[in-house]
Structure 1
Amino acid sequence: MNKVFLIIVICLGLSACKVSQKTLAIDRNATEDAMLKALKWQEANPIMAKSPTDWTNGVYYTGVSKAHQSTNDRTYADALKSMAIKNDWKPWERFYHADDIIISYSYLYLNSIGEPGVKLEPTVNIIKDHLYKPHEWKNAQKEGNEPEEKNILWWWCDALFMAPPVIVSYAQQTNDITLLKEMDKYYAETYKLLYDKEEHLFARDTRFLWRGNANDKKEGNGKKVFWARGNGWVLGGLALLLNDLPKNYSNRPFYENLFKEMSQKIKSIQHEDGLWRTSLLYPESYNHGEVSGSGLYTFALAWGINNGLLSKAEYQPAVLKAWNAMLACQQGSGKVGWVQNIGADPGPATADSWQNYGTGAFLLAGSEVLKL
């Protein structure tokens, strides 16, 4: 039986998950069992923000895809196939919005493993339309509470998880490098707009940029606002993107360097209990761990180790500490708690707060921890 040494974790009452310094050996089966329980609970308790093909389900089923890839357990593939058939293999309705594309990652995964009956035409159409079709969205037209400076396609950092991995997956399966070049252009726009080169973190959107005026948003300690899940979207998205990006692709060094730079920062601000706080630079604002952001970081850091971009000696202790803390936030039913609700900035979570994307992040993390 394969075993790795992990940090034992306990969850005390309604407090956030705590880590003791005692170590025990936990086998692969325990991780696989936790992942499968999470899947079964989530399948029995479906939830989505707006549609079965919205971004919340898209993130969840991305986690299911990676769980199947790591375990080869048909239960995950069956869940993916059932979802895809119910959705008639379609993404959601807004071709111009990155959030509506991520569900197609699951369809492309099923295609990559040779699952019979896959229908990719809707996915192909939304990818091509998203990248090339004119729309007023690309001309700074706003909807609802969006920032005034929405003047690029991917104007919020979450988008870097929602669209680029799908584009790269499809480009890899079709050997279409022109799609990668178009992705590079849009990714560079987001990087230039939102990446803080001093903190090595992304602002969620332009509302959180510092421009030296009195209206700049600040945390209670005077620092910039950097949202855990927002940066988790970026770092987790980079791991997915790099996994399928050709090794000899001309712009790959940019993505690798960004991944390593962000990874170093994220590891440096991990809390002693293993989980990250929703406000990365003002952890005391909500002084408890949060699973969706932490899950995305755990997935990304473990992926970096497994693919030779991060030092195993340096990063594995952080990954194992985080994964054990996440296990302690899973209830006996399989439900994964301590997930911040849908939002765009730091906020609270509780032992009973959950979302399907939190389960997806849990499965993503487990899928790479297994490979350690």
Structure 2
Amino acid sequence: MKRTPKTMYKSVFLFLLCLGVKAQMTLDKEKIEHAMVSAMEWQEAHPIFALAPTDWTNGAYYVGVTKAHEATKNPIFLAALKTQGYRNEWKPLYRTYHADDVAISYSYLYANATRKNLVDLGPTKAFLDTHLYEPNKWKDGTDPNKEKKILWWWCDALFMAPPVITVYAKQTGEEKYLDAMHKYYMETYNLLYDKKEQLFARDTRYQWGVNAKDLKEPNGKKIFWARGNGWVLGGLALVLTDLPQDYEHRDFYVNLYKEMAAKIKDLQQEDGLWRTSLLSPESWNHGEVSASGFYTFALAWGVNNGLLDKAEYAPAVKKAWNALVACQHQNGMVGWVQDIGADPQPATADSWQNYGTGAFLLAGSELLKMD
């Protein structure tokens, strides 16, 4: 992960250029909404996905569009949600054993709440019933890949499926889905959460003591991927939004959220963003927008919902948002987004992905709710 002085100076220069506007601690909500609309319009004009329009990348993007509409009531966001839903015939992707492939249903469920009989939830129900209750090679531990021995074997999954399950249970009134969600969430927590570092390993390949050859950063620290933990913390905020106050396991999610939020706040860098490698920020000394967007959203959500102390966390949130906006191009494109991956890698001012736009929209949606 070492970089030459020449390439390091180039990255630092590009990043400083990205942050050329001095961050202000005030919030102009009209400008926030304008930045969100601009980001969505650019993304809609530049569609991208890894597998199909219903895959996890678009799923994460449209979670951001969902929250943008919820916060602004701007019809342009709802129009985008409905358009993609009709185009997709309200279907998740085809891998019913894979948590990623139901993430798109979060936007369907939101659209369903805006107008009766608008959405066909049959495909989402069929996916969840198969995913949660039918056997598969991961549940059975028969997958030849040794790290894939539980249903949600990678930490990203905690963003992809649990928020969908929580909203679905809320809309249908069937608590059995929450119990199934909690069962599989606990499996992932017990396998991947490092209680000392208060962070999640992306999967067991990055978990010390599990592999014969432990992976580590050049500084000797464990590898904790920024976006991986962004998936988890952002997912926790989404889950807690819809999890019933009297649900018997709610305290577990609240406590985990607060613990991770405190850790993430401490890892914020001076420019307001987070680095791709949380415990080795010097590996690539520039901010990364997808992880930073998820963190900004999650921390702002905690302030807005009374779980985090406003005096302590609001300055960090505002600083992060101003840094995110400085990474948005004039045409609306959100840059400095690490490409699809599973571990810390660099980004550039011109690197973008739809899930990075989604994270940006999520962050803006909560900033609009702050005083």
Higher strand proportion: 1
Paired residues for 1:1-372 under 5 Å? 14-16=14-16, 17-18=18-19, 23=24, 25-114=26-115, 117-142=118-143, 147-211=145-209, 215-372=213-370
Distance between the aligned counterparts of 2:102 and 2:25, measured in 1?
41
Give the CA deviation at 1:148: 1.5
- The DSSP-based 3-state class of the residue aligned with 1:318 is helix
Q: Which amino acid aligns with 1:262?
A: M
Q: Cα–Cα, structure 1 residues 174 and 25, in superposed 2: closer, same or farther, change >3 Å? A: same
The number of equivalent residue pairs is 359
Give CA deviations for 1:253-299 in whole Å, capped at 9, x if unaligned: 00000000000000001000000000000000011000000000000
User: 2:335 touches 2:349 (CA, 8 Å); kept in 1?
Assistant: yes
Match of 2:5 in 1: none
What's the offset of the Cα at 1:213? 7.0
Secondary structure in 2 aligned to 1:136?
coil
CA displacement at 1:221 relative to structure 2:
0.3
Distance in 2 between residues matched to 1:122 and 1:165, nearest whole Å: 17
Amino acid paired to 1:201: L
**Does the 8 Å CA contact 2:12/2:286 hold for their aligned counterparts?**
no
Counterpart position of 1:6: none
Residue 214 of structure 1, CA deviation: 6.0
Instruction: Give the % identical residues.
Output: 64
The amino acid of 1:331's aligned partner reads H
Amino acid of the structure 2 residue aligned with 1:355? Q
What RMSD over aligned residues (CA atoms) do the two structures have, in Å?
Answer: 1.7
Contact 1:19 1:273 in 2 (8 A): no
Task: Indicate how the Cα distance of structure 1 residues 21 and 31 shifts in structure 2: closer, same or farther if over 3 A, else same.
Answer: closer
Please say if residues 24 and 322 of structure 2, whose CA atoms lie closer than 8 Å, have aligned partners that are also in contact: no
1:294–1:115 CA distance, 2 compared to 1 (3 A) = farther
Bigger mean CA offset, 13-22 vs 112-121 = 13-22
Q: Is the 8 A contact 2:303 2:314 kept in 1?
A: yes
**Contact conserved, 1:340 with 1:353, CA < 8 A, in 2?**
yes
Which blocks of at least 5 consecutive residues in structure 2 are unaligned? Answer: 1-10
Query: What letter matches 1:68 in structure 2?
Result: H
Task: Return the alpha-carbon distance in structure 1 between the equivalents of residues 23 and 290 of structure 2.
Answer: 25
Can you list the C-alpha shifts for 1:99-158, whole angstroms capped at 9, x where unaligned? 001000000001122265211100111111110011223223447xxx513111000000
Secondary structure of 1:285 counterpart = coil
Deviation at 1:301, TM superposition (A): 0.3
- Structure 1: state its 5+ residue gaps: 1-10
CA distance in 2, matches of 1:117, 1:18: 43
Question: Structure 1 stretch 210-219 or stretch 197-206: which is displaced more?
Answer: 210-219
Alpha-carbon separation, structure 1, partners of 2:322 and 2:228: 22
Q: For 1:320 and 1:234, how far apart are their aligned partners in 2?
A: 21
Change (3 A) 1:22 1:63: closer
Shift of residue 19, structure 1, vs aligned partner: 7.7
CA distance in 2, matches of 1:39, 1:23: 24
